[in-house]
Every structure is written in C-alpha cells, then in structure tokens.
Amino acid sequence: MSQPNILVIISDDQGYGDLSCMGAPDLKTPHLDSLAESGVLFDNFYSNSPVCSPSRASMLTGKYPGKAGVRSIIDGHRWAPGLPQGITTLPAALKNGGYRTDLVGKWHLGVAPGSRPNDHGFDNFFGFLGGTVDYFSHINYGMNNRTLVVEDQEITGTPVHDLWQNDGEIWHDGRYMTEVIGEKTCERIDHHAAGNDPFYLHVAFNAPHFPLHAPNKYRERFAHLPAERGIIAAMISALDDAIGTILARLDHHGLRDDTIVFFMSDNGPSREIRNWLDGTQTAFYGSTAGALKGHKFSLFEGGVRVPGIISWPSRIPSAQHTATPMVGMDVMPTFLEAAGIDSDEYDLDGTSMLDVLTHPQIAETSERDLFWEQGDQTSIRRGEWKLVLNGRLVEEEGPVDEVFLSNLRTDVGESKNLVDQLPELAAELTAQALQWRNEIEHYWDTHWVPKLGTSTSFSRPAFHR
Ligand SMILES: [Ca+2]
C-alpha cells in the first residue's frame, strides 16, 4: 500500500469549547466542522502539557515532555536552546522513510543553531522560531526589558524580528500571520502535488494566542460580542478560513482521500493578563474550555483537554466520535504505523491509535494510565478517574487542593472532590502519580542535566506535596 500524505494543523491556546462542532454558541468554524464530519472528532484528546513548548515537544517526539528534554516554555531570543540534539522527531523518522517534510508557522522549540526546525527533520521551514509574534510586524515583543540569562550572563531583552525561510531571515511586514500561514501552506501543497513522494506538512498557526490581533473584516463579524470574546472569535474565524483554503487546495489536487489531516490545539485557553491590549490588569476570559475546569497552565481538564480531529477518507470512517483518550505523544507512533514505518527503535511513550481510529465504532475506553506535570502540579488519568496534585486554577496563586480526585464520566467539570469519599483510590492514584513524577525527575537528572547543563531553561519546582 502506498504511504499517505500527512497534514498536521496545530492551533495555539484554543480552548476545548472554541469550535462550533465543540459547542461554541457564538462563533462558527465551518471548515473545522466539515473536517470533523469527514472523520473522527475526539471527545478526549489531550495535549501532553498545559503550555506550548512541552506540548509541541511531545507531539513531535512521541515522548513525555521530561523524556523529550523540554519541560517548560522556551525563550525566543536568538541564543535560546530548545529541543535537544540526538532525539528523533516524527518528521525525521518520516524523512528516513521517504517523506518530504515541511514546517509552516510556529516552532517554539529553540532558536539557537542546532535547535531549529531544519536540525530536527524538516526539509523546509517557513515561519517563526519563538513563542509569539505580533501578527502584522512579526516581531516578538515578549522579551522587551526582561532580564534574560544567556550563557550565564544577564542581558536585557529587546524586541526581536522573527520570520524565517529556513535559516534566512525574511520580511512580510504588514501581512496578517494567519493568512500568510494559509498561503504558504497552499504553496507547499502545490509543490508536493507536482512530485511523487509522500509529504509530511506540519502547519502550526499561532492563532488565537496573544497578541490579540485580527483584520477589521473579521472584527466586524463579531462586533456584537463583548470585546474580549469578539476578538477571540475574529481570530478563530480567520484561522478557520485559512484552514478552509488549505483543505480546498488538497481537494483541488485530488489529494484528500489519501491524506491524513489531523488537527489539535497545543494547550487550553489563556487567561493571562497580557491578552489585554488596553492595559487592563485583570484575568482574560475571552476564550473558553467549555464545560471543563481550568485554563492554560492548569492540570485540571481545561488546561490539557483540547480540540482534536482526524480525517483520512480512504481508511477512517466519516462522521464518528471517539471517547477513547488520545494524547499528543500518540501522534508519532500513529503516523509511523500509517506510513508503514517501524517505531520500535525510537523508545516512545505514546501508543499507536491507528486501530482505534480506523474502527472508532468498536473502540473501548483505554485503561492505560496517563500523566502530566506542570511546575509543582502532577496529575494522572486512569479510565474515568482523574487525580490532580497541587492543582491550580490561577498560575500566580496557590493550589486549590493538595489532592483532587474526580470522576470524569459523571463530573467532567471536576466540580466535586471525592478524596474523602474514596480515600483508598485517592491514595493509590496519588502513589502512582508521584512514582511517575519521581521517575521523570530521575530521568531528567541522569539523562538531560549532564547533556544540557545550565542551557536548559527548566528549573525544578518543589513538587512534593
Ligand atoms: Ca500554546
């Protein structure tokens, strides 16, 4: 059987509730909705982290963040180290298997030489290397006047222009990034359609991550909504339109049947103060995780359970839902299996979900334990049970409870703490979560610290209860 093309689309900080097919009442995402109609919509898709860089590292390596060498948000200055050398990424493995590989959009896994997309399996890269850019100037203002530590020296950060074609800096001043990413992706589809090799095209939009910019034609569509909701709706509408142009381009070339199209958000919605562009100093609630509790940075469901869709018309039945949990680190083994490439040599933490996806109507809920970490928070999901240690709702504030146990089948919003009702289960899951966390800490100390030394941006929090 021939190898399928693979198109991955990642949105940035898009909440579980911020698509119309996920229940958003006030914005429409017709192209994402049609993608879901053509395949499987996940009820339980998870990122491996409630923040950008570790989530992306896991998705691209098939490993937990601590195993992938990226446990925290990576800086965007030009010396920032990122995804370590010597770790095999999904595009690198596919490239070995005969694929052409492209990244269009956001990287956020390191800027320093050796950390960039071309160093990690991408033949071709167009986009930006840091975590955020102004949508029109493509400048990262996030480091302005911050004290940065570069090779043990303290420096004062400045704004940095961040737009690249492979290792060459390029300029598209004044163009809206969401539209540029859509156009560049279509160009790459045209390019690949003219060749004979299968392609892996990784399209990482920064929408709807701050700064909250959208062209007026999109703002005007949502002028009736409160300001903070209106701008998010405008950004998501532009994102959906760009995805529409990409899907139409696949259709134009007759590629849709044999192309896997996969969509996910990298983490839950942001409530960060810096979403505001008018100096407002309160939390931002323009994005929503729907019925879920928590936002970006939280290990409650809203931080890590995200929209997820997969379509592959020649193999995966249309108009399906699956409740089976899938996690970012499952993406690599799933796509390697789809491409007929053996993943055994890569020591992956994720599991291929290909069988579940090609037979979603007979899938059963997976009973494997899944784990997350963020600072001093640690969590575990086992079947319908979810336990969070030091779970936080607001990143600057303390935990809501040291131990929070909930039943996701009956209480998806994690509203009721069952620790006192089910002390034995709480103790068992606590022990399991702490054992996993200790293994990650040990791996970090023995594997990554000797290799990366102080070049890693991760400083260990006191995670013990
Ligand atoms: Ca993000």
Q: How far, in Å, from the CA of 145 to the mean position of ligand 1?
A: 23
Closest to 232 in 3D by CA, of 184, 265, 185:
265
Residue with the two structure tokens 């929090």: 461
Nearest-angstrom CA–CA distance, 403 and 300: 12
198 CA to centre of ligand 1 in angstroms:
29
Q: How far is the CA of 50 from the centre of ligand 1 (A)?
A: 8
Report, as ranges of residue numbers, the positions in the chain whose pLDDT lies below 70.
Answer: 1, 362-366, 454-465
Residue 431 CB partners (closer than 8 Å, separation 6+) = none
CA of 269 to the centre of ligand 1 (A): 8
Q: Ligand 1 centre from 420 Cα, in Å?
A: 35
326: CA distance to ligand 1 center in Å? 18
Closest CA to 429 of 378, 359, 355: 378
Distance CA 283, CA 88 (A): 38
Eight-class DSSP state of 305? B
Helices (H), 253-316: 301-304
Rounded to the nearest angstrom, the distance between the alpha carbon of 196 and the centre of ligand 1 is: 34
Cα(138)–Cα(171) distance, rounded to whole angstroms? 8
Q: Compute, in angstroms, the gap from residue 54 CA to the centroid of ligand 1.
A: 10
Distance 384 CA to ligand 1 centre (A): 26
Distance in Å, CA 327 to ligand 1 centroid: 15
Q: What pLDDT, on the 0 to 100 scale, is given for residue 149?
A: 85
Ligand 1 centroid to 305 CA: how many Å?
13
Token pair belonging to 89: 């990424």
For 273, the 3-state DSSP assignment is helix
**Tens-place pLDDT, residues 284-319:** 999 999 999 999 999 999 999 999 999 999 999 999
Centroid of ligand 1 to alpha carbon of 212 (angstroms): 14
- Residue 453: predicted pLDDT: 76
**pLDDT at res. 465:** 42
Q: What is the pLDDT of residues 193-216, one digit of tens each?
A: 999 999 999 999 999 999 999 999
Which run of H or of E encompasses 441? Answer: helix 423-443
Q: Is 175 exposed, middle or buried (0-12, 13-18, 19+ CB in 10 A)?
A: middle
Tell me, what's the pLDDT at 456? 56
Distance 361 CA to ligand 1 centre (A): 31
Of 345, 334, 308, give the one whose Cα is nearest residue 323: 308
Kindly give the distance from the C-alpha atom of residue 16 to the centroid of ligand 1, in angstroms, as a whole number: 13
What does residue 337 show for φ and ψ, rounded to 5 degrees?
A: -65, -40
Ligand 1 midpoint to CA 11 (Å): 8
Residue 324: how many CB atoms within 10 A of its CB? 18
Residue 41 phi, psi (nearest 5): -105, 125
> Are β-strands 259-265 and 5-11 bridged in parallel, bridged antiparallel, or unpaired?
parallel
Domains in the chain, please, with CATH? Answer: 5-362 (3.40.720.10), 369-455 (3.30.1120.10)
Q: How far is the CA of 424 from the centre of ligand 1 (A)?
A: 36
User: Do residues 465 and 390 lie in contact, with contact meaning Cβ atoms separated by under 8 Å?
Assistant: yes
Ligand 1 centroid to Cα of residue 51, in Å, is 5
Helical spans, DSSP H, in 205-307:
216-221, 227-252, 301-304
What's the 12 CA to ligand 1 centre distance in angstroms?
Answer: 4
- At residue 460, the pLDDT reads 56
Give residue 48 CA to ligand 1 midpoint distance, Å: 12
Q: How many angstroms separate the alpha carbon of residue 304 from the centre of ligand 1?
A: 11
Across-strand partners of 259?
A: 5
Structure tokens at 406: 């909930």
Cα separation, 121 vs 420, whole angstroms: 49
Ligand 1 centroid–CA 164 distance in Å is 20
C-alpha 13 – ligand 1 centre gap (Å): 4
For residue 69, CA distances in Å to 86, 233, 237, 335, 464 come to: 11, 34, 34, 22, 21
pTM of the model: 0.96
Cα 373 to ligand 1 centroid, rounded to whole Å: 16
* Interval between CA 428 and ligand 1 midpoint (Å): 32
Q: How much distance in Å is there from the Cα of 52 to the middle of ligand 1?
A: 4
For residue 308, the CA-to-ligand 1 centroid distance in Å is 14
Residues 49, 61: Cα–Cα separation, whole Å: 14
User: What is the rounded CA–CA span in Å between residue 143 and residue 157?
Assistant: 5
Distance between Cα 188 and ligand 1 center (Å) = 24
Q: How far is the CA of 123 from the centre of ligand 1 (A)?
A: 24
Positive or negative torsion for Cα 249, 251, 255, 261: positive
* CA 316–ligand 1 middle distance (angstroms): 28
